[in-house]
Copies of this chain bind each other. A is one copy, B any other.
Amino acid sequence: MEVTRQNFKDSLCPIYSAIEEADFLAIDGEFSGISDGPSVSALTNGMDTPGERYVKLRKHSMDFLLFQFGLCTFRYDQSQSKYLMKAFNFYIFPKPFSRNSPDIKFICQSSSIDFLASQGFDFNKVFRSGIPYLNQEEESQLREQYEERRSQVNGAGTPSYISPNSCKGPVNVPDEHKDFIGRVVEKVDALLNSSEKSKERFIQISKVDEEERRRMEQQKYEREQEEMNDAVGFSRVIHAVSKSGKLVVGHNMLLDVMHTIHQFYCSLPEELDDFKEVTMCVFPRLLDTKLMASTQPFKELITNTSLAELEKQLKEKPFKAPRVECSEGFQSYDTASERLHEAGYDAYITGLCFISMANYLGSFLTPPRSHISARSKLLEPFYNKLFLMRVIDIPYLNISGPDLQPKRDHVLYVTFPKEWKTSDLYQLFSAFGNIQVSWLDDTSAFVSLSQLEQVQIAVNTSQYAESYRIQTYAEYLQAKQKNTNINRKWAEDGWADASYKSAGMTSTCSRAHNRSLTGKRSLSPTQEDQNSDFTGIADSNWSNYSNPETKKIKRDGMLLCSFRPVEGTPSTSPTEAEAESQEADTWPKTSANENKGRQEAVVSTVGRTQPYRSFPGISERKETSVVFI
């Protein structure tokens, strides 16, 4: 169901009841862009900590507009053993609703806009018919404005036809205007003493008795309430989702969640921990299908976790296409005629993926079950863990607890002249076997060695080098923390929010898990997460993260530990890398700037060449991929 400014009010009741009756909700957002600053490869560095990643996304992604929101509600019908779904595709636009409303500015990124245009996205519908919204602060301000005006008008028994400014004492009327004002006063006096009902010139002035005045004020009050509801607009839908407390499913949903909170609730907090807290208030239960698909027992079975591919694979063995039907009176989506990147459709197939994967978990039960409820304890290990794009050793952002803290003792921080390319780094470390490069900027990168004992050798041999410098990851962190402190000291806003920051600082920068949760925070770290064998793994070869074996598990309701998400993201094969690059709405293609100095091998071929992303046989991550022109 397409929802615009025109049918929004009439759709609210059906939307509310769809949320109310649902077993779970799936969401998706389309944005006007991804990064207003760094290239996507810099925005998603493979060695980002969750805190660093959050800070970058908050800084460089939030000025884009979430202009299409998909909400798909799924209700399980026990009697028919199938899901009934209702899909809503909302167009969103911050149309200023009055002279005094905020005049929002948002950024558009050409590549994102161009991509959506190529998918047939209807921008006219966004800009002409988008539903407005207010965040909570704007809503309060508007409410106060209305209140203030009403109290001014009604305050101290002043009848509403007397100018509120009159209580401020006599207004000084300049000599040259006295004549004019005098004449106006005479006309108003004449009106009050005459039998005419009203008189119009620029302002209409009417006589009313007490009863009529009350009635008019009541009308005005009701009109204002309606105006206010109209202004709050789409935020009311998100409030309903939030209040329902239902499981909210998304695919690669970190940016969706950030944008949703930013646009319809409040500006995002500076620190990750505060963001987690806010998120848990707004969406108490989240599940990311991309993270789920990248985790045992799915990781082994699924070669490509991009949404469209995932949906296809989850129809095939060992999975089963879920039984989902469109509710009566609702538009159905046909997965055969793909409408990818329409938010409503993406939310729909995200829901399908979730159902397939959830049901697959039932096959491990004794006896096996073909349907697993969205409330099943089997799903708890996947709750509130949002997929982290392209981080090498931290698969997810843990919204309801502390993040994984991989050891990075095998990682070197290397600085070098800006002419250097990836090949120069391979050359430099040629003696150390396989390495992995994560570019930070033109003159620095992280280099992961496969052998921990080589780290000190590399650092030592670089001591007399002039053109480059090698530091351990620990040294890098120390220097960074020092810089952060200095910058903080000289930040424009002084020490205003220093206390607010301190907790986050610790969690971002400390490598051991020693962050003490402040009393203010309500996060309850799960013991499970800390039990992970992650710290042990980091000592071994980075490419050999162990995959805890899948055990047969018991019925719903029993405590199950074996689905703990697996550390390390799945290795990327060329096919995967290419398919993933199709998710261009989320991560558009490399731009000119980010490729600067990255083209380590330019192979000229005859005729038009195909983009080619990595050498077959070399397990290479995107950030170090070879670009052929």
Q: Which residues of A contact B (CB under 8 A)?
A: 32-33, 36, 65, 93-96, 99-111, 113-114, 116-118, 122-124, 126-128, 149, 152-153, 160-161, 163-165, 171-172, 174-177, 180, 202-206, 208, 216, 423, 426-427, 430, 433-434, 588-593, 595, 600-607, 609-612, 615-618, 627-629
Contact = CB atoms under 8 A, between A and B. Distances in A.
B117 A606 contact: no
Contact of A95 (B114, B152, B161): B114
Contact of A123 (B124, B163, B171, B203): B124
A44 to B, nearest CB: 15
A445 B110 CA distance: 40
A65 B105 CA distance: 13
A177 B617 contact: yes
A161 B605 CA distance: 6
B595 A100 contact: yes
A128 B124 contact: no
Contacts of A600: 165
B430 A174 contact: yes
Contacts of A605: 161, 203-205
A604 B103 contact: no
Contact of A114 (B96, B172, B174, B628): B96
A25 to B, nearest CB: 28
Contact of A604 (B124, B149, B202, B592): B149
Contacts of A595: 99-100
B430 A176 contact: no
Nearest to A171: B423
Given A93-B113, A106-B108, A205-B605, 17 more contacts: A36-B105, A99-B595, A100-B592, A102-B591, A116-B127, A123-B123, A161-B606, A163-B601, A163-B602, A174-B434, A176-B433, A176-B434, A177-B615, A177-B618, A180-B617, A203-B612, A208-B606
B107 A203 contact: no
Nearest to A430: B172
Contacts of A108: 32, 65, 105-108
A174 B615 CA distance: 13
A618 B176 CA distance: 9
A629 B149 contact: yes
A99 B108 CA distance: 18
B609 A203 contact: yes
Contacts of A617: 177, 180
A203 B603 contact: yes
| Ranked 4 nearest A-B pairs via Cβ | A103-B591, A123-B123, A100-B592, A117-B128
Given A149-B604, A604-B164, A612-B203, A592 B117 contact: no
23 contacts: A65-B108, A93-B110, A93-B113, A93-B114, A99-B592, A99-B611, A100-B592, A100-B629, A101-B592, A103-B109, A104-B109, A105-B109, A106-B107, A107-B107, A117-B124, A153-B604, A161-B604, A174-B434, A177-B615, A177-B618, A203-B609, A203-B610, A206-B607
Nearest to A592: B100
A281 B202 CA distance: 49
Contacts of A100: 591-592, 595, 629
A348 to B, nearest CB: 24
A117 B109 contact: no
B96 A103 contact: no
Residue with the greatest number of chain B CB neighbours at <10 A, chosen from A127, A589, A607: A127
Given A95-B110, A103-B109, A127-B117, A426 B174 contact: yes
A164 B602 contact: yes
A620 to B, nearest CB: 10
A614 to B, nearest CB: 10
Contacts of A612: 202-203
Query: Which of the listed residues A171, A202, A423 has the most CB atoms from chain B within 10 Å of its own CB?
Result: A202
A376 B609 CA distance: 57
Contacts of A149: 602, 604, 629
A67 to B, nearest CB: 10
A103 B588 contact: yes
A604 B423 CA distance: 73
B123 A426 contact: no
A591 to B, nearest CB: 4
A177 to B, nearest CB: 6
A592 B103 contact: yes
Given A124-B124, A203-B628, A600-B165, A426 B105 contact: no
B163 A603 contact: yes
Contacts of A205: 605-606
Contacts of A128: 117-118
In the complex, which of the residues A109, A110, A615 has the most CB atoms of chain B within 10 Å of its own CB atom? Answer: A110
A621 to B, nearest CB: 15
Contact of A152 (B116, B152, B602): B602
A615 B183 CA distance: 13
A180 B603 CA distance: 17
Contacts of A116: 127
Given A174-B433, A433-B174, A606 B216 contact: yes
A351 to B, nearest CB: 29
Contact of A110 (B104, B118, B601): B104
Contact of A590 (B94, B99, B202, B208): B99
Given A171-B423, A610-B202, A615-B180, A123 B114 contact: no
B123 A96 contact: no
Given A206-B606, A605-B205, A616-B202, A427 B172 contact: yes
A336 to B, nearest CB: 25
Nearest to A602: B164
Nearest to A432: B174
A492 to B, nearest CB: 13
